[in-house]
Amino acid sequence: MAAIADDDEVAAQMDLDAPPRPPSLTEFDPTTRAVADLYDRVGVLIAAVVASTGKKPPRVPPYRRPRLAIDRLRERTRWTKHKALTARLLRR
């Protein structure tokens, strides 16, 4: 994996505009989950401290987590409901 990550030819073939993929479920062990939870909570604390000074708080993106089949199903269901509501409102 290290050799592939450091290969110039592989890097030249990569799509630099593509968003980073979420980690796989096998890479997301309990330690990584704990670090992700801490990362998210520190982001909330940073935003709260900045907001307490009267400035606009930064948006700290959450730590990337694996996308499971249930997550994809929920997203498809929400999107289907959204399209149905939009069609009703616009009377298409």
Q: What is the mean pLDDT of residues 56-73?
A: 92
| DSSP for residue 27 | T
Report CA Rg, the chain.
19
Distances in whole angstroms, Cα of residue 8 to Cα of each of 13, 14, 16, 21, 38: 9, 10, 14, 20, 34
**How confident is the model at residue 85, as a pLDDT?**
94
**How confident is the model at residue 92, as a pLDDT?**
62
**How confident is the model at residue 31, as a pLDDT?**
94
Task: Take residue 40 and report the two structure tokens written for it.
Answer: 């998210």
**How confident is the model at residue 11, as a pLDDT?**
83
pLDDT tens for each residue of 9-32? 888 888 778 777 888 888 899 999
**How confident is the model at residue 14, as a pLDDT?**
82
Whole-angstrom Cα distance, residue 42 to residue 31?
A: 17
